[in-house]
């Protein structure tokens, strides 16, 4: 079953602009060369009339196209490359580790290459990434009773003032307030529909949104207020399970999610979000039907608004609610993504 693609004008514009949010959405086949590419390929762009579009690399291969050697469309874009995995494994196994450029060279890696990868995929340098991990670790220690000065020195800081300044710059509050505040750890997760921003607290996943959603910044500010927390980039135990279950979902192997969630909201919002999770995989409901399911048939607009306030896409499947005439309406990630998700679920429903 082929997925519905965005219109050709949108896809050609994405191809020209090397728009990474369209990674996994389409593959561009160049008729004059017989090669197919990712939307982000850096090769010279063909004329619009010489391009045809496919939903998957497999479709392009079936029509005789060959994968581009520059953008390598047969690999999963953005996955941790083999050359970087040993370094990240060492970082994850050694909390608080400090590595300078000379240390990276000793491990057979080019520090500039490492830095470029982290800038591209995390929006920070590798050193910045390590600092974020150290501050996050210190936050946990202080929150559960360790003295600030002990956490500072155990994190490798040579002075309490230097630690305090770094901590405040990253979190927005001083270390001694850690016992009364929370951190939302955020990371980017790559999906066939483009990158998503995930957020987690100790209680569970509290955010999963496409990074190009217009209301994302507003959602983050609202979430910070609701949880009395600050967002910090880094790693979290919940992200491993999230990444695994999303991969299983997009390959058709998973129909329900078993992740712990942290979704603050009003009692009405909570009931709407719980109702969304009860819509069976591969099916849809009208907004009217959803209001009736919640035993509040006159609250159609309120239900629609609560759907829009959902901060955890896919897992809380607001994409399964459609308009009265069956049209796709009201999806913050874009209607083309909503179409893709519904078609994907319908295709794998019987599996």
pLDDT at 258: 95
pLDDT at 77: 53
Contact by Cβ (8 Å): 32, 46: yes
pLDDT at 30: 94
Q: Count the neighbouring beta carbons within 10 Å of the beta carbon of residue 23.
A: 21
Q: Which of 37, 68, 71, 231 is catalytic?
A: 37
List the one residue out of 125, 127, 149 whose CA is nearest residue 138: 149
pLDDT at 196: 87
Contact by Cβ (8 Å): 340, 4: yes
List the one residue out of 75, 133, 84, 122 whose CA is nearest residue 104: 84
| CA 8/CA 50 separation, integer angstroms | 12
pLDDT at 68: 87
68 is catalytic: no
Q: Which of 68, 206, 231, 318 is catalytic?
A: 318
With b for 16 or more beta-carbon neighbours within 10 A and e for fewer, the 137-153 pattern comes to bbbebbbeeeebeebbe
pLDDT at 76: 54
pLDDT at 78: 56
Spell out, as residue ranges, where the chain has pLDDT lower than 50: 1
With b for 16 or more beta-carbon neighbours within 10 A and e for fewer, the 241-254 pattern comes to bbeebbbebbeeeb
| CA 226/CA 328 separation, integer angstroms | 30
What class, spelled out in words, does domain 78-178 have in CATH? Answer: mainly alpha
What CATH code is assigned to 8-67?
A: 3.40.10.10
**Strand extents, DSSP E, the chain:** 27-30, 35-37, 51-54, 66-67, 182-189, 196-201, 204-210, 229-233, 285-286, 321-322
37 is catalytic: yes
Domain ranges of the chain: 8-67, 78-178, 243-348
What CATH code is assigned to 243-348?
A: 1.10.10.10
| CA 155/CA 42 separation, integer angstroms | 41
Structure tokens at 324: 């009265």
Tell me the per-residue pLDDT of 110-146, one tens digit each, with 9 for 90 and over: 999 999 888 877 777 898 888 887 887 787 778 777 8
In the block, which residue shows the tokens 């500010």?
221
The reply to whether 243-348 shares the fold of 78-178 is yes
Backbone angles phi, psi at 231, to 5 degrees: -85, 135
The DSSP line for 69-132 is: TTT-TTS-TTPPPTTTHHHHHHHHHSTT----HHHHHHTT--HHHHHHHHHHHHSS-HHHHHHH
| CA 169/CA 165 separation, integer angstroms | 6
pLDDT at 188: 84
């Amino acid at each position: 079953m082929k997925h519905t693609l965005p219109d050709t004008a949108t896809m050609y514009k994405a191809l020209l602009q090397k728009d990474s949010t369209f990674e996994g959405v389409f593959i561009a086949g160049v008729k004059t060369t017989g090669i197919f590419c990712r939307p982000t390929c850096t090769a010279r762009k063909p004329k619009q009339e010489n391009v045809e579009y496919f939903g998957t690399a497999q479709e392009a291969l079936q029509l005789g196209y060959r994968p581009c050697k520059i953008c390598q469309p047969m690999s999963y874009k953005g996955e941790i490359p083999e050359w970087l995995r040993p370094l990240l494994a060492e970082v994850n196994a050694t909390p608080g580790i400090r590595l300078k450029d000379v240390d990276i060279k000793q491990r057979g890696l080019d520090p500039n290459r490492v830095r470029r990868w982290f800038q591209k995929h995390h929006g920070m340098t590798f050193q910045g990434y390590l600092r974020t991990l150290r501050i996050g670790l210190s936050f946990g220690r202080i929150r559960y009773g360790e003295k600030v000065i002990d956490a500072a020195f155990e994190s490798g800081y040579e002075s309490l003032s230097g630690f305090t300044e770094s901590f405040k710059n990253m979190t927005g509050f001083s270390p001694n307030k850690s016992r009364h505040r929370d951190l939302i750890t955020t990371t980017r997760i790559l999906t066939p529909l483009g990158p998503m921003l995930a957020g987690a607290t100790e209680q569970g996943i509290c955010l999963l949104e496409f990074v190009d959603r217009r209301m994302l910044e507003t959602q983050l500010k609202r979430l910070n207020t609701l949880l009395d927390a600050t967002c910090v980039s880094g790693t979290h135990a919940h992200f491993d399970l999230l990444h695994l279950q999303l991969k299983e979902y997009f390959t058709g192997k998973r129909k329900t999610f078993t992740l712990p969630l942290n979704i603050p909201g009003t009692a009405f919002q909570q009931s709407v979000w719980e109702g969304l999770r009860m819509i069976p995989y591969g099916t849809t409901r009208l907004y009217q039907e959803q209001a009736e399911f919640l035993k509040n048939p006159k609250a159609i607009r309120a239900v629609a608004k609560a759907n829009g306030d959902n901060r955890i896409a896919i897992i809380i499947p607001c994409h399964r609610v459609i308009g009265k005439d069956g049209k796709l309406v009201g999806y913050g990630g874009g209607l083309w993504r909503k179409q893709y998700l519904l078609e994907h679920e319908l295709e794998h429903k019987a599996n």
